[in-house]
Amino acid sequence: MRHEISIAGWVAAAVAVVAAATVRRTLSARMQAVTRACHELRGPLSAVRLGLELGARPGQLSPDRLRAIELELGRATLALDDLAQAPCRAMVGTARRRPSDRCVRGLVDIEELLADSVEAWRGAADRRGARLHLRYDDARPVVLGERLRLAQAIGNLLANAIEHGGGAVEVRGRVEDGTVRIEVADEGPGLRRPLAELVGRRRRGAGARGHGLAIVSSVASAHGGRLAAAPSERGAQLVLELPLADGTAVGVSPKEA
């Protein structure tokens, strides 16, 4: 009888330990989701506010700026969608993301997306004394993916370069060996830690830079690409690589903005 009671006690203790671990994982997943949502809301809403301030100047609220503002509002709404889904993901104990209704996978014109993203972040750059420059090479790259997710990645790269780098922020889109390369370089002090460490530190209370780069890396992986750091004589140079849709690009003349 005592033996049976002892076994029952050990089973109850084991169940309690498993339940506590499950609750801890659930709370941790929810906190990570809240942190990510706050980060993803703060950036786009700040860009929208500063974009509207620029637009308040006579003749500055152009169709391009309005389209850029719409893109950032879409990013903010997507962050709320992700947060609403977070409790369900935490309860089932998986990190897999159910696609948002706002994320439709299709052909994304990277030239257009870069132009909209850069326009959206001009106000933030002006506020911090940074100078945004956008350049396309001799191809108009198209990728298969979710436009708002890719906007998340590009927006975080721009935000990091503006906030932690500064000076002249060069944004370049080009095609190389069937891959679209989105390069963002700044004139700041450079990355203080290796990129892999910055991306991995987001779960251990890393600052905004680590969390933003973790989002970029996650979006890149979901699209079959990657985030990398390129050698740079001054500042940081980060590269978002994405597979070109069907290995093709629409040829256009080089552009600068």
Q: Residue 154: what pLDDT?
A: 96
Q: Residue 203: what pLDDT?
A: 46
Q: β-strand 249-250 against 179-185: which pairing, if any?
A: unpaired
Q: Which two tokens stand for residue 107?
A: 């052909």
Band of residue 247 on the pLDDT scale cut at 50, 70, 90: low
Band of residue 30 on the pLDDT scale cut at 50, 70, 90: low
Mind listing the pLDDT tens digit for each residue in 32-75?
Answer: 555 665 667 667 777 777 777 666 566 666 788 788 888 888 88
Q: What is the mean pLDDT of residues 235-240?
A: 94
Band of residue 1 on the pLDDT scale cut at 50, 70, 90: low
Mind listing the pLDDT tens digit for each residue in 177-223?
Answer: 889 999 999 999 888 888 988 887 654 444 445 678 999 999 999 99
**Range in 95-99, 118-122, 244-248 with the lowest mean pLDDT:** 95-99
Mind listing the pLDDT tens digit for each residue in 132-170?
Answer: 999 988 678 899 999 999 999 999 999 999 998 989 999
Question: What's domain 105-256's superfamily in CATH?
Answer: Histidine kinase-like ATPase, C-terminal domain (3.30.565.10)
pLDDT at 22 over 70: no
Q: Which residue has the higher pLDDT, 208 or 80?
A: 80
pLDDT at 94 over 50: no
